[in-house]
Amino acid sequence: MQLLFALLALGALRPLAGEESHWCYEIQASNYSCLGPDRWQEDCQKSRQSPINIVTTKAEVDHSLGPFHFSGYEQRKARVVENNGHSVMVLLGDEEISISGGGLPARYRATQLHLHWSRELDRGSEHSLDGERSAMEMHIVHQKETGTSGNEAQDSEDSIAVLAFLVEAGPTENEGFQPLVTALSAVPTPGINTTMAPSSLWDLLPPEEELRHYFRYMGSLTTPACSETVVWTVFQEPIRLHRDQILEFSSKLYYDQERKINMMDNVRPLQHLGDRSVFKSQAAGRLLPLSLPTLLVPTLSCVMAGLLR
């Protein structure tokens, strides 16, 4: 009889132990027995982690950071969208979508895109620029193609390239994003997928000519196992969605099958930059407002005229 009670006790503990070993975001950790960001394991405690705050004035110009070459981004397809319990993900792995250029050492093939967000419009992005966060952040994840560079080592520090786009609230609806926003209602809980209306990746992004301004650093995945194998590109030009579109992510998606916790604040806290450097393409950086240079020209002209008298 004592043995039976012991076995029952062990059986009761196993699900709890499983929950406690599963990683989650802080909003989940406060409601369930799971590992919040400060307790993430594997590589998550190493020194070259992501996301980071990018101080734009300290980023070093790297002249090798030229324009990207986007292949397959124009393809209009009906893609699978799924709620994976941590975010909403669009699957791209079966398609011929890739990037090269942009200072990358090889060609990288797209595997998926996903987003991070909050109900607050200034705390939903993982990266921040000069201490300011945005409403959302979208990541397009790419895997290095073999045979496209001289270094074919597996799990190298540049085996993954992530394009990060900050998302801000704008005055009008973003029609290109609407197929994904509409699909959210069909994937409310983890493990569910649907097919969104046909669209292209360019429908989700700013115009290509606006993507020449970006920041670059070496970091990690922002979810466990936090592998330090990522070439990060954070674009300066944001995506703009209407506020109502942004809030659909928090209201339509849930972390749990019981729909007790809305999926929001799926954001890893900022990590220390340490001894890493952040680089920028030649044109990247905070630009002066148009009115200021306009005022400076006549002012400097008057000063020069005075000096020449």
Please identify every residue annotated as catalytic. Answer: 86
Strand partners, 108: 99, 144
Closest CA to 254 of 15, 50, 93, 31: 31
Pair 234, 215: CB distance under 8 Å: yes
Closest CA to 158 of 73, 89, 113, 217: 217
For residue 105, whether the previous peptide bond is cis, meaning omega lies within 30 degrees of 0, is no
C-alpha 110, offset from chain centre = 14
52 vs 54: CA distance, rounded Å: 6
Largest pairwise CA distance in the chain: 107
